[in-house]
Amino acid sequence: MSFRHADILSAAQFSRAQIEQWFARADDLAARLARGERLRTLDGKMLATVFYEPSIRTRLAFEAAMQRLGGGVLSLADAKTATAISGEPLPDVIRAVAHLADVIVLRHPDAGAACVAANASAAPIINAGDGTGEHPTQALLDLYTLRAERQTLDGLHVALVGDLKHSPAVHSFARTLSEFQVEFSFVTPAALAMPTAITDDLRERGFSVEETNDLARSLQTADVVYMTRVCKERFSDLKQYEKLKDFYLLTRALIEKAKPGLSVLHPLPRANEIAAEVDALPNAAYFRQVKNGVVIRMTLLADILAD
């Protein structure tokens, strides 16, 4: 499919061929930026960020990507407060912003909010995290980073660790990985397990999916570990959160006992699940993910807003 003027709502929209085409373009953009080339592909276009929950990396990476392509930015960093008094519903906000901008990046606490927005909008919607739903552009940058770290996306054993119940990034990442030949380990306490819809789908399509709560053991065979923060904001019972928040901690000692060459990813922000001592190891790819986030968003915006 073409993504010209299309919404990006779910990683289920991404085929292997599409992903590979985007990554080739992202490589090209990265090379041009590295040469100091000034791009003006989206000169005269406008991107709006509409964020009902804060996000530093995602909002700023989209705003940086748009500006690095010569486009303009409208920033609504706190849509929750801006709509608090009037109680203006999401579709009204989106319908209005769609008349001000050429593309809208939406972050919202409710799963499905990006679909609601897309139905209301005359402009393409990019889902930048809809509660426990999906975060498809995060998955693309995760995958792009993984390709840079491993040179291939096939034949990898990937352990997804932590709050697989709530993290929209991990839902999208699992879907995207399933376009490649991978094995999965889902490493969680029982209360934070991956939604069965995703696990069942992967198994039906023939993937090996291990479910375990034993991080150390899963690291014996994993090539990649994708850590996640326990999403405090999704717990109605904070006592439950307190019990679960420190369930896993990836340390230098654990990495030393793991399969050699382990790649460590994290969508960030982290809370307590990766020790600071890990940051200096070559395994730690999570700050490289941030950098890749700009070039991936540049690729998507150029595609969606192509004339």
Which residues of the chain form contacts with a copy of itself (CB under 8 A)?
36, 38, 43-44, 46, 48, 54-57, 60-61, 63-64, 67-68, 72-79, 81-83, 85-88, 91-93, 95-97, 99-101, 229, 232-233, 268-271, 276, 287-288, 290-291, 293-294, 307
If the CB atoms of residues 133 and 202 are measured against a copy of itself, the closer one turns out to be 133
Min separation Cβ 91 and a copy of itself, Å: 8
User: Residue 257: what residue type?
Assistant: K
- Tokens representing residue 120 in the block: 């209301």
- Tokens representing residue 213 in the block: 């709560």
Distances (CA, A) of 45 to 95, 100, 257, 260, 306: 18, 10, 50, 46, 10
Distance CA 186, CA 223 (A): 14
If the CB atoms of residues 88 and 214 are measured against a copy of itself, the closer one turns out to be 88
If the CB atoms of residues 134 and 163 are measured against a copy of itself, the closer one turns out to be 163
Min separation Cβ 305 and a copy of itself, Å: 12
Those residues with Cβ within 8 angstroms of residue 282's Cβ, 6 or more apart along the chain or in another chain: none
Min separation Cβ 21 and a copy of itself, Å: 24
If the CB atoms of residues 38 and 205 are measured against a copy of itself, the closer one turns out to be 38
Distance CA 282, CA 263 (A): 8
If the CB atoms of residues 54 and 261 are measured against a copy of itself, the closer one turns out to be 54
Judging by beta carbons within 10 Å of its beta carbon (0-12, 13-18, 19+), is residue 239 exposed, middle or buried?
exposed
**DSSP code, position 39:** P
Distance CA 3, CA 281 (A): 38
If the CB atoms of residues 60 and 193 are measured against a copy of itself, the closer one turns out to be 60
15: number of Cβ within 10 Å: 11
If the CB atoms of residues 18 and 83 are measured against a copy of itself, the closer one turns out to be 83
Min separation Cβ 92 and a copy of itself, Å: 6
Min separation Cβ 160 and a copy of itself, Å: 19
Min separation Cβ 196 and a copy of itself, Å: 27
Q: Strands, E, within the chain: which ranges?
A: 46-51, 72-76, 103-108, 125-130, 156-161, 182-187, 209-212, 224-227, 263-265
Min separation Cβ 291 and a copy of itself, Å: 4
Min separation Cβ 181 and a copy of itself, Å: 30
Those residues with Cβ within 8 angstroms of residue 87's Cβ, 6 or more apart along the chain or in another chain: none
Bridge partner residues of 158 (DSSP): 184, 224
If the CB atoms of residues 68 and 175 are measured against a copy of itself, the closer one turns out to be 68
Q: Closest Cα to residue 183, out of 158, 152, 150?
A: 158
